[in-house]
Amino acid sequence: MGLEKQLVSIVVPVYNEQENIDSFYQEVVKHMEPMKYDFELIFVDDGSKDATPLILERLAHSDKRVRALILARNFGHQIALTCGLDHAEGHAVITMDGDMQHPPEMLPALIARWEAGFQVVQTVRINTEGVSWFKSFTSGMFYKLMNAMSNIEVAEGGSDFRLLDKQVVDSFRRFRERARFIRGMISAIGYRQTKLEFIAPKRFAGHSKFSLKRMLHFALDGITAYSKLPLRFAFYLGIILGFGSIGLTLHVLYIKFLTSEAVPGWATITASILLLGGMQLAGIGIIGEYVGRIFEEVKQRPLYWLAAEISQQKERNKM
């Protein structure tokens, strides 16, 4: 490597963050410039409808360390992150949010762990200022469920603020599934991993882009990608109910042939029809969920496509 400095890439997906980008950029520069590394700051614009792409273009023109990847439309946070990881050239790649909830002053601490020999530095949020009890409760429940149902371990409060060594990034790039829960993928990828705790401050400006519906979809992606337990659950339930219905049949035969009260049985019948019907629908729903996911994956569509890549480097290459 000689005298050439090592490169650290910082990947930031942004969606309608026009009020945040300038201060985020200044903070990153402030904390990265004193370090002994070169850095590139890769913004992935996830189909923003506000002035975000214009701000990114201005930054990329004024600072050759800034690269702006403009996606053709909104693909969602996890895909935008993937796009950034695909394009990053650094010896280490850090992914973080652009709203200051992943504090740029943590950057030197992440890099220090990398220098100490770790290849995955995963941050864990121990507290988010000003988050509703509902969000912290549901997210806590989700991680408990996720860890109970799958054979991977995802830290409660795990976030997409992490450092990956180039070797890990190269492996990660070969994972091309559409439904991605990057936290789980990284946890399962191996290599030398470590955790670093942090307190997430409030968003700098604007509002969270994750509605309840999006959180729920994200949680489903996580669970179905790493667990076949729901499918097995329907199977086991079927077996238990099957045995149950043998008992019920014996009871019916007993009433029919050994007693004289054959008519009053409608309650049992109605109850068991409802129960079985409900269980069957639930089972079909679970299977449907997985079939739908198979359908999405077998199409093998590209994960994302770019409308533009703006960077001084790129323009120089074209000349």
Judged by the rule CB under 6 A, the positions of this chain that interact with ligand UDP are 13-15, 17, 46, 74, 76-77, 80, 97-99, 101, 208-210
As measured in angstroms, the least distance from the Cβ of 101 to ligand UDP is 5
Q: Which does 135 bind (CB under 5 to 8 A by kind): Mg ion, ligand UDP, none?
A: none
* Measured distance between the N- and C-terminal CA atoms of the chain, rounded to whole angstroms: 28
Nearer to Mg ion, 119 or 159 (CB): 159
The nearer residue to ligand UDP, 19 or 38, going by C-beta atoms, is 19
Q: Which is nearer to ligand UDP, 38 or 156 (CB)?
A: 156
State the nearest-atom distance from the C-beta of 56 to ligand UDP, in Å: 12
Which partner from the list ligand UDP, Mg ion, none does 14 bind, CB cut-off 5 to 8 Å by kind?
ligand UDP
Q: Are strands 38-45 and 120-128 parallel, antiparallel or unpaired?
A: unpaired
Shortest distance (Å) from residue 187 CB to ligand UDP: 18
Residue type, 193: Q
Q: Is residue 159 a contact residue for Mg ion (CB under 5 A)?
A: no
Residue 46 interacting entry, from ligand UDP, Mg ion, none, C-beta within 5 to 8 Å by type = ligand UDP
Rounded Cα gap, residues 160 and 181, in angstroms = 10
Residue 80 and residue 306 in contact, taking contact as beta carbons nearer than 8 Å: no
From 286, 281, 160, select the one nearest 220 (Cα to Cα). Answer: 286
Query: What's the min distance (Å) between Cβ of 203 and Mg ion?
Result: 5
Q: Give the number of other Cβ atoms within 10 Å of residue 47's Cβ.
A: 18
Gyration radius (Cα) of the chain, Å: 26
Q: Which residue is nearest to ligand UDP (CB)?
A: 208
- Our finding on whether 17 is near Mg ion (CB under 5 A) is no
Among ligand UDP, Mg ion, none, the one that 313 touches (CB under a kind-dependent 5 to 8 A) is: none
Residue closer to ligand UDP, measured from CB, 15 or 39 = 15
Alpha helices in 63-165 (DSSP H): 77-87, 107-115, 133-149
- Binding mask 99-138 toward Mg ion (x if CB under 5 A, else -) reads x-x-------------------------------------
Which residue, 55 or 286, has its beta carbon nearer to ligand UDP? Answer: 55
Task: Single out the residue of 174, 1, 7, 12 nearest to residue 89, CA to CA.
Answer: 7
Helix/strand/coil (H, E, C) string of 63-79?
A: CCCEEEEEECCCCCHHH
Query: What tokens appear for 296 in the block?
Result: 């999405």
46 binds Mg ion (CB under 5 A): no
Shortest Å, Cβ 98 to Mg ion:
9
Closer Cβ to Mg ion, 14 or 286, answer by number: 14
CB of 156 to ligand UDP, least distance (A): 15
Residue 35: CB minimum distance to Mg ion, A? 25
Between residues 40 and 99, which has the closer beta carbon with respect to Mg ion? 99
Among residues 250, 244, 308, which one has the least CA distance to residue 83?
A: 308
CB-nearer residue toward ligand UDP: 215 or 241:
215
227 binds Mg ion (CB under 5 A): no
- Token pair listed for 113: 């762990």
Closest contact distance (angstroms) between CB of 62 and ligand UDP is 21
What does the alpha-carbon distance between residue 159 and residue 110 come to, in Å, rounded to a whole number? Answer: 14
Are the CB atoms for 7 and 39 separated by under 8 Å? yes
Number of C-beta neighbours around residue 174 at 10 A: 6
Q: For residue 103, give the 3-state DSSP assignment.
A: coil
Q: Tell me if 283 sits within 8 A of 237, measured CB to CB.
A: yes
Of 279, 285, 255, residue with least CA distance to 268: 255
Contact set with Mg ion (CB under 5 A) = 99, 101
